[in-house]
Each structure stands twice: as structure tokens, then as C-alpha cells.
Amino acid sequence: MARSHSCCGSVVSLCTLHIFLTTSGWVELQESPSQSPPIFVFAQDYLEKFYQLPRNRFQSERKNSTSVIMEKLREMQRFFGLNETGKPNQETLEMMQKPRCGVPDSGDFMLTPGNPKWKQTNLTYRIIKYTPQLSEANVETAIQKAFQVWSNVSPLTFTKVSQGEVDIRISFVQGDHGDNSPFDGPNGILAHAFQPGQGIGGDVHFDAEETWTENSSNYNLFLVAAHEVGHSLGLSHSTDPGALMYPNYVFHDPSTYTLPQDDINGIQTIYGKSVGISGMFFAVLSMVVEVGGYPEVCLGSVKGGRCTLQSNTQWGHH
Ligand SMILES: *[C@@H]1O[C@H](CO)[C@@H](O)[C@H](O)[C@H]1NC(C)=O
Ligand SMILES: *[C@@H]1O[C@H](CO)[C@@H](O)[C@H](O)[C@H]1NC(C)=O
Ligand SMILES: *[C@@H]1O[C@H](CO)[C@@H](O)[C@H](O)[C@H]1NC(C)=O
Ligand SMILES: *[C@@H]1O[C@H](CO)[C@@H](O)[C@H](O)[C@H]1NC(C)=O
Ligand SMILES: [Ca+2]
Ligand SMILES: [Zn+2]
Ligand SMILES: [Zn+2]
């Protein structure tokens, strides 16, 4: 377990991990929580936030919690495709340090159990509180593009409203903001959102203490917003590292961003497929141009301006 000590500057010191792994570790530390190294506290805190590890406040509850923690660690390792060791090894701790969404990866959602969805497809949203880091126009553009990612591949439509009741309320807030899921300052949790429903249902909160950008600097607002809107529509986290609904922040070029197939499958499972007006226009145009026949409505799905019919015949420009 020889390890360079140059890593001590990172958020969680891996030097502490070194000490931790070279002692018999987990159980002993659990027995004497007053001496728990930061690494233990950090891993336990992560599991409490994202894997529904019960918060054990009393000594009596701690007796058999070691096995519970190991089980939760395995669950987390399984989700991220790591070795299921049940131990907070380096690859596990590195994964835990990545900036991410605040919505848990396991169990039911933050509020509503079940698989709630919006009954109507014409949804409204409102930006309640802006961030001073970007102009209001830039925030609105990022949010509008985030909704478009989903409306492009589903029957859903999103209309921005500036007053009154709406389905999805969007705000930049910091620290404890009254929903039992406090933000944690710069990095860590970037944002969270609630499943479809009344009241707070569908709402999106961004950590106001993050640096929000329009470019590749951390953190790109459009990308995080597109992920959170996925939750607002009823999707939970994906284990596919390429998916938008993967819990960790991954940068992609916003100007060329298209929704990955995993997310398309997810949203269409809930709301069905849809041919957007521009997609339909494109499909009709392509058929006229390429087939020379009569314009027809695409009966399959339109992806990237290409109509895929049941027979798997594809129409589109090449
Ligand atoms: C602790 O152990 C008891 C009996 O072995 C078991 O019923 C209980 O579910 C355990 N507690 C947790 C939190 O796993
Ligand atoms: C899992 O463990 C094996 C050996 O214990 C190692 O070779 C492999 O790289 C590990 N996998 C990952 C993803 O770290
Ligand atoms: C959505 O559509 C339904 C049915 O067409 C309509 O009653 C409702 O007012 C619409 N809502 C909005 C916000 O446009
Ligand atoms: C991103 O934009 C910010 C200003 O909003 C700027 O300070 C930063 O240097 C830019 N980063 C890149 C990589 O262009
Ligand atoms: Ca944060
Ligand atoms: Zn999320
Ligand atoms: Zn919140």
C-alpha cells in the first residue's frame, strides 16, 4: 500500500486513506467514532446522502452498522462499475470526490415514491432566482436549451412564464434552503431537482455558490440544467457514464450536444415518441427530395433529421 504523499492537497487527503487501510481500519474506527479520520466521515457522509445509509446517531445503533456501510459501499461500487470490495479504496474515494448531482442514486427519489410523471405534456417553467455570475439573458438561453434537449425527442413542450404558478420553478440558492437537502458550497453537489408533482415537484435548484459558465470552465450551466430537467420529468440516475443522467458532472461541448440514446430511451419510456415540427418537416422534405414521391408523415421516429420507419428503412440526408 505504498503511496505517494503528494496527494495531501486534494479535497480528501489520501494520506489519511493510507493510514486507514494499513490499520485494520473499518471496524475499529467504527467502534471509536471520535477518532474517525476524515476519510471515514467523508465516505459515510457520501453514502448517507446518495445511498440512503441511515444516519446512526446513537452508540446502540452503531453495533452492526459496519456491515450496513460495507453493503452500501458495494452498492455504490456496483453503480459506478468499480470493484465491489465493500472497502473505501482509492478508486472508490476518487469517484466520491467528483462533482455531482445531489439526487440519490438508489432507492426512491428525494420526495415522491413511485414513478410519477406529468399528466400534461405542455409544461411551464419560471426562473425565480438568478445567479449574478451570468446575465439573465445567458441564464435564460442555457435553461431554454436544456429544455429543448428533452422536447426534441418527446411530445413535451416547455413554455417560459414570468409570473404566477408554473410546473417547474428554477432557482439559484445556497446552503440550507428549506427543502432538507442543503447545498455544500463550491463543488461537491452542484444542483438537484424534484420528480414531477405538485408544489416543489419538478423544481430545480442550483447551488448558487458554484461558478456557473457558458463555456468549458466548471460548471457549464446548460449541461447541469439539462441533467436536472431530466429529474423534473421523472428520470433517475443512469449507470451509463455516457448518459446525461449519469450522476457525475462530465463536460461536453454544448454547441454540438445531442441527447445520448440511453436518455432518449428513458424519456420515451415515460412520455412516448414524438415527431417535432422541424423533424417532421425535415423528414417530409427528405422524402420528397430523395424518393421523388408524395410527401408523407414519418411514421417512425425522427432522430437527427432522419426518419426511421418500422421496417428500419431510413430517410434522411447523408
Ligand atoms: C442489526 O442486526 C439485527 C439482528 O442481527 C438486524 O435485525 C438489523 O436489521 C440490523 N440492523 C441493520 C441496520 O441492519
Ligand atoms: C479490480 O481489481 C483487480 C484486482 O484485484 C484489478 O486488476 C482491477 O484493475 C480492478 N478493477 C478496477 C476497475 O479498478
Ligand atoms: C395544456 O393543455 C391543456 C389541454 O389542451 C390545457 O387545458 C391547458 O390549459 C394547457 N396548459 C398550458 C399551460 O398551456
Ligand atoms: C469561460 O467564461 C468565463 C467568463 O464567463 C471566463 O472567465 C473563462 O476564462 C472562460 N473559460 C474558458 C475555458 O474559455
Ligand atoms: Ca456545491
Ligand atoms: Zn441527478
Ligand atoms: Zn433544494
* pLDDT value for 231: 95
What sections of the chain are H helices per DSSP? 14-22, 26-31, 38-50, 59-62, 65-79, 90-96, 136-151, 221-232, 261-271, 277-291
Average pLDDT over residues 248-267: 96
Q: Which of 122, 126, 160, 166 to mutate to test the pocket of ligand 3 (most atoms within 8 A of CB)?
A: 122
Q: Is 201 annotated as a binding residue?
A: yes
Cα–Cα distance, 311 to 91 (Å, whole number): 45
What is the average pLDDT value for the chain, to the nearest integer?
80
CA nearest ligand 3 atom 1, residue: 122
* pLDDT value for 42: 92
Q: Is 231 annotated as a binding residue?
A: yes
Q: Ligand 2: residues within 6 Å at CB? A: 82-83, 91
* pLDDT value for 40: 83
* pLDDT value for 207: 98
Q: Is 262 annotated as a binding residue?
A: no
Cα–Cα distance, 54 to 282 (Å, whole number): 52
Per-residue pLDDT reduced to its tens digit, 110-165: 344 567 899 999 999 999 999 999 999 999 999 999 999 999 999 999 999 999 99
Ligand nearest to the CA of 69: 1
Q: Is the pLDDT of residue 32 over 90?
A: no
Q: Tell me which residue of 184, 207, 12, 6 sits closest to 96, measured CA to CA.
A: 12
CA nearest ligand 2 atom 7, residue: 83
Q: Report whether residue 216 contacts ligand 4, using a CB cutoff of 6 Å.
A: yes
Average pLDDT over residues 210-236: 97
DSSP 41-65: HHHHHHHHHHS------SHHHHTTH
**What global pTM score does this model have?**
0.77
Do residues 93 and 14 lie in contact, with contact meaning Cβ atoms separated by under 8 Å?
yes
Question: Please, which residues bridge with residue 122 across strands?
Answer: 157
Do residues 182 and 176 lie in contact, with contact meaning Cβ atoms separated by under 8 Å?
yes
Active-site positions?
228
Least confident of 170-179, 199-208, 265-274: 265-274
Q: Is 318 annotated as a binding residue?
A: no
Distance 307 CA to ligand 3 centre (A): 29
Per-residue pLDDT reduced to its tens digit, 159-177: 999 999 999 999 999 999 9
Cα–Cα distance, 143 to 104 (Å, whole number): 23
Ligand nearest to the CA of 102: 6
Per-residue pLDDT reduced to its tens digit, 34-85: 455 788 889 999 999 999 998 866 555 555 678 889 999 999 999 999 999 9
In this structure, what C-alpha cell is assigned to residue 230? 431530466
Ligand nearest to the CA of 101: 6
Q: Which H or E run contains 168? A: strand 168-173
Q: Report whether residue 64 contacts ligand 1, using a CB cutoff of 6 Å.
A: yes
Q: Is 72 exposed, middle or buried (0-12, 13-18, 19+ CB in 10 A)?
A: buried
